[in-house]
Amino acid sequence: MAKVIFESDLCKGCSLCVNVCPKKIVVLSEDKLNAKGYHPAKITDQELCIGCAFCAMMCPDCVITVEK
């Protein structure tokens, strides 16, 4: 099973990872703001992740790590 890790404090909420996820399990947090004032990305259901790492490849700030 793959594990996705977000460095929430560095995320700028651009939502590129949200748009590219084939399983649609990456979303922007609606109830949380990071230190920079952005809604960071998060994963809704870790069990559904297929480990494709599209989210990590699309992230312009390299704040996403995918462990397989």
With a cut of 90, say whether residue 14 has pLDDT above it: yes
For residue 54, what pLDDT band results from cuts at 50, 70 and 90?
very high
Please report the domains of the chain, with CATH numbers, ordered by start residue. Answer: 3-67 (3.30.70.20)
User: What's the predicted TM-score (pTM) here?
Assistant: 0.90
Phi/psi of residue 17, each to 5°? -65, -35
With a cut of 90, say whether residue 28 has pLDDT above it: yes
Q: What is the pLDDT of residues 34-50, one digit of tens each?
A: 999 999 999 999 999 99
For residue 35, CA distances in Å to 8, 9, 10, 32 come to 9, 6, 8, 10
